[in-house]
A and B are shown apart, each in its own frame.
Chain A
């Protein structure tokens, strides 16, 4: 069965079976490798994308469940509100060490700011709690989010 999904503003007719996690559709069928695989079970947040602007773990959402929702991946972050600002802040603060988890970090941060433009610390903590970073870049992630929230870009 072929489905049509709306991804990064474009319609894609996809072949992957409906029970395929969105993560693998993105990475393998569509070649959008910016969304990362870390655990496959929603524990690590590396696969975070937006569905209609809200953060979702692409490893837990099946192709069938996406339905008509608009999917945004890291490759289109710059088109989201504050997306480009977050990318600039990430560079300014030298956030990434290995960088592998950072697509997910950025997407979660963007979803937070879209919902809550001036989040309190505990709102940042709650929104980012699902994004693991083994390199330990959290202090810089938080600093970058606060800067963008305060409009310092």
Chain B
């Protein structure tokens, strides 16, 4: 793969004693830089003699081991030694451009856009070394931090020719490494900071500490848009350690010398809010709202084929219901902020640093250039830390006091005030002729809109919440006739946000369970039905203006692999069966199939094994891929069994782990992960393995003689034994 770099980047040597080869992705029309000139840096890569390589990464590390993966890609392409590679977290300095993480897109994006930059650097180092040694350029190789000339045995550390390389022109079409040259891709494993994690020195957002730092807790209305009518200061200020108490709009901040004092102070505030609205909203009222919207079919988002007719036509209608769910990452949201001399600095476990920078600037009414956001290690997110409200609050508190302040959400705050997984209701109406093997689907669903909370401008791009269509618009089965219709509802009383896998979880649950129901109604094996309907590739717009390609063959392959590895065809005893489900996470061209082996008896389900087959293209870190699949299976089983949120009178009542049950060590089933060997472009793995987990499990339960669960959580009908 070759790529044109000349307009996008330039190499320069930064002067002084250290010769530095630095990469600067520049604006299109920026003039090339003469060697030796000093420029404001705009860099992701810095190389200095003898072999010091520094890499700035824009992605936040939240457990998906993205720093390991991106460092491996960079080190392999450049020829650096990963053991001595220095990785830094890019902040919102303008030279880095947009800083944000999401969509499981980091590896795919880096592979396409950043590899050429490292390849160009390597090319120039090879050219410079060849010139210095007076040998042919193709005789020089850079790998593992060393430049070598095999024929003569000469070698030098990678940084030795940095200054000489900096005087060369940027190659327009640098050669990218072939996979046979990779030292790290395909082998790197684990968290880069594992040493500090196991010895307790790893610093998450909540662990940020600096001199004179204080701690804050906020009392917020438990019902959205509550109007603050009053609170008591005296008792709060009397708590040892509490130093300041003030209102910001409709919330009240308590600033103290310690987290505990801030929380204790907040307990004494006795704040009063007036709720003008939402007092009648509950989980049940939202469910009714969705049910009423189901069938409106406001937006036809896909339509193809002709209706099937015939005297042998049968029909099947299945309705499915997906409730709210919380993220429940172990580190609650938090942010540390310092406002002084018109500048605001932020530290925190934040996905979207650049977006946060802009929103904080607007909230404080200062220029965005005067706001810096530093992303810390993230203690789990699953989408929770995409939100910015907790950062803006921290900044607003810091703007009112002296010195740095850390705003910590307690577990209750985190669960009450975070946006949640959008609920939805689904109706799949099949008509089919089982003898002629013709199938038609009319898929209708009502979904609560997350974009309505996160960015309303997205609703006008296509006239509906296009994110709620992910997983519905790209159903991969070649039905003879397929119509997909969406109706949006809004839930202003209950904030919604992206939850790992987004709406693909909702649609995979409904459609993959329905496929099994269709198979049963048609007297067909569920695996065989799917394989036969995965007969055509699909090209379809999912993200606006962005067509996704779905390979039927790659999806068939993972289904067949999962089925093979779980011995799908083996006879199992009464009450025991295997269920399957598959999904193409087309946003990052990653293909997943799960097969779950269960026994159901007397209202209890035992999970013997989960087999996952993954095609994520080139797996940068197979061990991390395996870990993400394992984690997704636990996350998905949890959701199938227990995830739900109780909302009463406009308030989130599920506020701690006593009302949000999480799977424990002894409840984790055996999980076998099989990664398809592939030379395809790397996809993503943080979210893709999740959507098919719920339906694979529920299909197993039904096939084992248990109930056909159409309304989650299944734990209302089934106990995990």
Question: Which A residues form the contact surface with B (CB < 8 A)?
Answer: 16-17, 20-21, 24, 27-29, 31-41, 43-44, 46, 73-75, 77-78, 87, 90-91, 94, 96-103, 106, 122, 124-126, 128-129, 131-142
A75 touches B635 (CB 8 A): no
Q: Does B203 reach chain A (CB closer than 8 Å)? A: yes
* A136/B630 in contact, CB under 8 A: yes
Residues of B with C-beta under 8 A to A94: 189-191, 194, 623-624, 627
A-B contacts, 17 of them at CB < 8 A, read A27-B259, A33-B203, A37-B332, A44-B330, A46-B330, A87-B198, A90-B194, A94-B624, A97-B64, A97-B380, A98-B331, A134-B635, A135-B63, A135-B634, A137-B630, A138-B668, A139-B630
Q: Which of B550-558, B564-572, B655-663 contacts A (4 or more CB under 8 A)?
A: B655-663
> In the complex, what's the smallest C-beta–C-beta distance from A77 to chain B, in angstroms?
7
Residue among B64, B332, B623, B664 with the highest chain A CB neighbour number at 10 A: B664
4 closest Cβ pairs, A-B complex: A34-B200, A136-B634, A98-B63, A100-B379
Which of B191, B200, B381 is in CB contact (< 8 Å) with A35?
B200
Known contacts A33-B207, A136-B632, A138-B634; 13 additional CB pairs below 8 A are: A16-B258, A27-B259, A87-B198, A91-B194, A96-B198, A97-B631, A98-B331, A98-B381, A99-B194, A132-B662, A134-B382, A135-B631, A136-B663
A38 touches B331 (CB 8 A): yes
Q: Tell me the smallest distance from the CB of B60 to a CB of chain A, in Å.
A: 11
Q: Are A74 and B200 CB-contacts (below 8 A) given A132-B662, A133-B330?
A: yes
Cβ of A128 and Cβ of B207 under 8 Å apart? Answer: no
Interface: B209 (CB within 8 A): yes
Q: Which residues of A contact B377 (CB under 8 A)?
A: 99
Is A136 within 8 A of B635, CB to CB?
yes
* A75 CB contacts on chain B under 8 angstroms: 199-201
Q: Is B618 part of the contact surface with A, judged by Cβ < 8 Å? A: no
Q: How many A-B residue pairs have CB under 8 A?
A: 181
B1 lies within 8 A of chain A by Cβ: no
CA distance in complex: A106, B202 (Å)? 14
Q: How far is the CA of A74 from the CA of B202 in the complex (A)?
A: 11
Q: Shortest Cβ distance from A84 into chain B, in angstroms?
A: 10
Q: B665 in the interface, Cβ–Cβ < 8 Å?
A: yes
Interface bits B185-207 vs A (CB < 8 Å: 1, else 0): 00001110111011111111011
In contact, A36 and B671 (Cβ under 8 angstroms): no
Partner of B380, one of A29, A87, A135, A138: A135
| Nearest Cβ on chain A to B348's Cβ, whole angstroms | 14
Instruction: Let me know if B664 and A132 touch, CB within 8 A.
Output: yes
B-to-A contact residues, CB < 8 Å: 62-65, 189-191, 193-195, 197-204, 206-207, 209, 215, 240, 257-260, 328-332, 377-382, 408, 410-411, 623-624, 627-628, 630-635, 656-658, 662-666, 668, 670-671
Most buried by A among B64, B215, B331: B331
Report chain B residues within 8 Å CB of A28: 215, 257-260
Q: Which residues of B contact A132 (CB under 8 A)?
A: 330, 657, 662, 664
Q: Nearest-CB distance from B325 to chain A (Å)? A: 12
A133–B329 alpha-carbon span in the complex (Å): 9
Most A CB within 10 A of own CB, among B63, B200, B382:
B200
In angstroms, Cα B209 to Cα A129, docked, is: 31
- Enumerate chain A residues within 8 angstroms of B206, measured Cβ to Cβ: 33, 36-37
Q: Which residue of chain A lies nearest to B628 when distances are taken between CB atoms in the complex? A: A97
User: Per a CB cutoff under 8 Å, which of B195, B203, B411 touches A91?
Assistant: B195
Interchain CB contact under 8 A, A141 and B665: yes
Which chain B residues lie closer than 8 Å to A138 at the CB level? Answer: 634, 663-665, 668
Contact residues in B for A106 (Cβ distance below 8 Å): 198
Which one of A36, A100, A125, A137 contacts B631 once the chains associate, using CB atoms below 8 Å? A137
Q: Decide if A128 touches B665 in the complex (CB within 8 Å).
A: yes
Candidates B63, B259, B332, B623; contact of A99 at CB < 8 Å: B63
B380→A136 contact, CB < 8 A: no
Could you say which residues of chain A place their CB within 8 Å of the CB of B200?
32-35, 73-75, 77, 103
Expressed in whole angstroms, the minimum distance between the Cβ of B607 and any Cβ of chain A is: 13
Nearest B residue to A41 via CB reads B656
A77 touches B631 (CB 8 A): no
Contacts of B330 in A (CB 8 A): 36, 38, 44, 46, 98, 100-101, 132-134
Residue of B nearest to A97 (CB): B63
If the complex has contacts A27-B259, A97-B63, A101-B330, are A125 and B665 also in contact, measured as CB distance less than 8 A?
yes
Q: Which A residues lie within 8 Å of B382 (CB)?
A: 134
Residues of A within 8 A of B260 (CB): 16, 20-21, 24, 28
The chain A residue sitting closest to B213, CB to CB, is: A28
Alpha-carbon separation in the docked complex, A28 to B201 (Å): 15
- Which B residues are in CB contact (< 8 Å) with A73? 200
Chain A residues positioned under 8 Å from B240 (CB to CB): 17
Name the one of A39, A102, A125 contacting B411, with C-beta atoms under 8 angstroms: A39
Given contacts A41-B411, A96-B197, A134-B662, contact A91 B190 (CB under 8 A): yes
> CA A38 – CA B666 in complex, angstroms?
20
User: Whole-angstrom distance from the CB of A152 to the nearest CB of chain B?
Assistant: 17
Q: How far is the CB of B313 from chain A (nearest CB, A)?
A: 44
Minimum CB–CB distance from A88 to chain B (whole Å) comes to 8
Choose from B331, B624, B658 the contact partner of A36 (Cβ within 8 Å).
B331
Whether A131 pairs with B63 at a CB distance below 8 angstroms is no
A122 to B410, CA, bound (A): 33
Q: What are the residues of chain B within 8 A of A135 when measuring CB–CB? A: 63, 380, 631, 634
Q: How far is the CB of B101 from chain A (nearest CB, A)?
A: 13
